[in-house]
Amino acid sequence: MKAAVWKGIEQLDIDDIPIPEPKDPRDVQVKVVACGVCATDLHILEGKFPMFKPPRVIGHEFTGVVSAIGTGVTRFKVGDRVAVETGLACDTCYFCRDGREHQCLHRLAHPGGYADYALYPERNVHKLPDGLTFEFAALAEPVACVLHAIDLAKLRSGDVALVLAGGTIGCIMTQLLLHSGASKVLVSEPREHRREVVKAVGGIPVDPKGQDLAAFVKEHTDGLGPEIVFDCLGHPALLEQGIELVQKGGTVFVMGVADPDAVAKVKPFQLFDKEIQIKAAFLRPYMFHRAVRWLPHLTLQPLLGVEYPLAKTKEAIHALRDGKGLKIMVKP
């Protein structure tokens, strides 16, 4: 089969590798239909994501059709439409036994979805609701990540939220915040086409380059600031901005993945004076089944539209860096 194999900084080759066949009784082989491009893929390609080492097949937002199963698989049959949850915890380390499998000390990352086929344990595979498109289903992983963040943020009904960056995560975050009780969601996004999508999914967009963001936020929050700010990009400047804009007693939440070497400047007195909390979310433990349930109820079509064949996976990742579209799809 064909697969996009990451081999180092800016090295991503389309190689011929063996099709992974079920060996364990619980193995499920999936013929990949669509794999979403994530900013993490860009970080990996740039050598700025320390979790993985080359060589490996990347791509962690994918969906497809069950094409073969192990002898012990009971929940799926060949032909089922599924989304795949990547990564597997060891179940034996301290963090796994403490109910924090996403912080597993020995986490296993299977080959990803930039390939014709993928092989995963049955526990990582989720059946799709009837009528849900494969493209929508490929968004299960980012939806799961957002759900984990909202759970940790402890949003209250009626809160005003500010989302910094209106990309895929920002637009999904906007919808789920509104569904979860936020009275309004302000979204700071410099790109015009993304602000249009923000508006389409119910957010109130603002151009931080062409407008006075602080004044805009005060106008929509009776001069108090939002109760919660989400940095959905992972840039140090956005963390600093969130601390400046959040309401006294509020929460600044880091949702985006930053460059591991990036440093933000924080004034400890400001944290003390405003009595704010800074929180963050890592991965999406125990969330995937909830994400799949949510997919039919979200407005996802405006996020889609830019697609690349598997042979152009590297170009697809670069397109994300260049700001083309929101959720770019690679299709084998």
By annotation, the residues acting in catalysis are 40, 43
Paired strand residues for 251: 228, 277
- Is-contact 146 169, C-beta < 8 A? yes
DSSP 247: P
Peptide linkage before 54 cis (omega within 30 of 0): no
Q: Comparing C-alpha atoms, which of 51, 178, 60, 69 is closest to residue 119?
A: 69
* DSSP-derived pairing of the beta strands 204-206 and 125-127: unpaired
List phi, psi (to 5°) of 201: -100, 10
* DSSP-derived pairing of the beta strands 27-36 and 2-8: unpaired
Give CA–CA dist 331/34, Å, rounded. 5
Looking from the CA of 133 toward its CB, the CA atoms found within 13 Å total 11
